[in-house]
């Protein structure tokens, strides 16, 4: 279950195979840093390890043109295997790539190893480029080491099929939709009305319980961890409330029960099997790749409940890489405002650089994919309304456990109470 997912998923190797393959690929990248890297004419290859498509292909070409002595090689693996690999290589002190991506749901698990990464604060980076909620998770506990530079962030919106809304007698104007679906209770209630009034009884209200849960819990002031880093899934009522809301909607038949980032999910987009999707900015790739075959039109409204963030990533430079100085400059360049702005206007990845949110080319950006919706305005407002949520070392795994529990309800294997109990048992095993 892809909670805290960032960027489009790639159909690569399975986790075990990817781990083996990536070990083989990066094994040649061991070492304590090249002493010759200060020579600007030295011919070097910088390796970049990612867990998804960050949209960097054209930027790599631009950077290589500007730096003729540098060749960039990108490797990708399954998200879980990627982070396991990075942890293992940091522990071993060798085997990392020059630049390593870290997903926001995983970054807290690397805080204790901050000294093993290049400190960007000592390499010309102004942390004020990002909001504190972005830099804090990628900093050491004392704030003296910034080991991750923010790439995109998952400002949230609600994507909806305006033609399916019209057929069910619901408003199609995005402002009216935003007003109607002002919070998640209203969203679930409207889903029941949609099912009752839609002429196509094969269309569900949303794609999957796990996806919906990710959006709902992302808005809570406290999620799976408290500010002290303690897991609070059992004690925090917001987690159970979000779980029960989604479980209730599943019981009412609102979920298509299609796990995200699977071939069946692609088919769901193409065959119009659901009318709404909670969509962070990075998810636009899925809509581009899987247009409805019936000619239906997607539009975009504000996310129920206001702001929130689902997903986002960082670029880090392990000290065990071969070319730490050159890698640091590449990571800084890829996350600079100019490149982040380009990735949004061309790829749809919303920038985590806060200064960009109010710039006209971002704030006024529209997207024909969503009926010319003002995506820049919607995602910027979502980012501004964001209430930072404490993160913890196993946040992504906890989200997966809860998402899997909701999937078991969709599959008819258990009821909400049984799924909740199973999820708590799984969470207990995760956090120890």
With a cut of 50, say whether residue 37 has pLDDT above it. Answer: no
DSSP assignment string, 178-212: HHHT-SHHHHHHHHHHHHHH-S-TT-EEES-HHHH
Mean pLDDT of 322-339: 97
DSSP-H helix ranges across 198-289: 209-218, 237-251, 263-270, 284-289
Q: Is the pLDDT of residue 89 over 50?
A: yes
Tokens 């030295």 label which residue?
42
Residue 31 CA, distance from chain mean position = 31
**Mean pLDDT computed over 327-349:** 95
Q: What is the pLDDT of residues 257-312, one digit of tens each?
A: 999 889 999 999 999 999 999 999 888 888 999 999 999 999 999 999 987 788 88
The alpha carbon of residue 428 and the mean position of all alpha carbons in its chain are separated, in whole angstroms, by 24
Higher pLDDT, 12 or 132: 132
Q: What is residue 38's predicted lDDT score, i.e. its pLDDT?
A: 53
At residue 20, does pLDDT exceed 80? no
In this prediction the pTM is 0.83
pLDDT score, position 39? 67
CA distance linking residue 77 with residue 51, whole number of Å: 5
| pLDDT over 80 (residue 61) | yes
- Domains, the chain, in order of start with CATH, read 15-153+311-363 (3.40.190.10), 154-310+367-431 (3.40.190.10)
Q: How confident is the model at residue 387 (pLDDT cuts 50, 70, 90)?
A: confident
Give the model confidence (pLDDT) of 162-188 as tens digits.
Answer: 999 999 999 999 999 999 999 999 999
Which of 28-42, 66-80, 189-203 comes out lowest in average pLDDT?
Answer: 28-42
């Amino acid at each position: 279950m892809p909670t805290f997912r960032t960027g489009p998923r790639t159909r690569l190797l399975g986790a075990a195979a990817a781990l083996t393959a990536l070990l083989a690929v990066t094994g040649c990248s061991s070492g304590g840093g090249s002493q010759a890297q200060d020579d600007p004419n030295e011919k070097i290859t910088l390796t970049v390890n990612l867990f998804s498509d960050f949209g960097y292909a054209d930027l790599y070409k631009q950077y290589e043109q500007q730096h003729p002595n540098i060749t960039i090689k990108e490797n990708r693996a399954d998200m879980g295997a990627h982070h396991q690999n990075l942890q293992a290589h940091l522990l071993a002190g060798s085997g990392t790539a020059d630049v390593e991506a870290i997903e926001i749901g995983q970054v807290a698990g690397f805080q204790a190893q901050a000294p093993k990464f290049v400190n960007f604060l000592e390499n010309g980076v102004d942390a004020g480029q990002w909001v504190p909620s972005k830099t804090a998770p990628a900093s050491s506990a004392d704030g003296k080491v910034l080991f991750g530079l923010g790439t995109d962030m998952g400002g949230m919106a609600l994507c909806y099929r305006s033609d399916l809304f019209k057929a069910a007698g619901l408003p199609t104007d995005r402002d009216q939709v935003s007003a109607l679906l002002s919070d998640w209770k209203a969203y679930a209630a409207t889903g029941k009305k949609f099912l009752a009034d839609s002429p196509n009884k094969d269309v569900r209200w949303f794609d999957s319980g796990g996806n919906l849960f990710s959006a709902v819990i992302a808005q809570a002031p406290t999620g799976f961890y408290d500010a002290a880093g303690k897991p609070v899934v059992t004690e925090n009522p917001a987690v159970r409330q979000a779980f029960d809301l989604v479980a209730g909607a599943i019981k009412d038949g609102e979920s298509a029960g299609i796990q995200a980032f699977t071939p069946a999910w692609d088919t769901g987009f193409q065959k119009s099997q659901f009318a709404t999707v909670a969509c962070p900015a990075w998810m636009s790739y899925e809509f581009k790749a899987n247009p409805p075959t019936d000619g239906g039109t997607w539009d975009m409204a504000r996310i129920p409940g206001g702001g929130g963030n689902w997903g986002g990533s960082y670029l880090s430079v392990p000290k065990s890489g071969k070319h730490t100085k050159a890698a640091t400059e590449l990571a800084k360049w890829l996350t600079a405002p100019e490149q982040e702005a380009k990735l949004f206007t061309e790829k749809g990845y919303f920038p985590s650089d806060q200064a960009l949110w109010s710039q006209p080319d971002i704030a006024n950006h529209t997207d024909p994919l969503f009926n010319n919706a003002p995506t820049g305005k919607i995602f910027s407002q979502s980012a501004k309304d964001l209430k930072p949520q404490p993160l913890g070392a196993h946040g992504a795994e906890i989200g997966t456990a809860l998402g899997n529990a909701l999937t078991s309800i969709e599959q008819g294997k258990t009821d909400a109470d049984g799924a909740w109990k199973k999820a708590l048992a799984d969470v207990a095993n995760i956090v120890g």
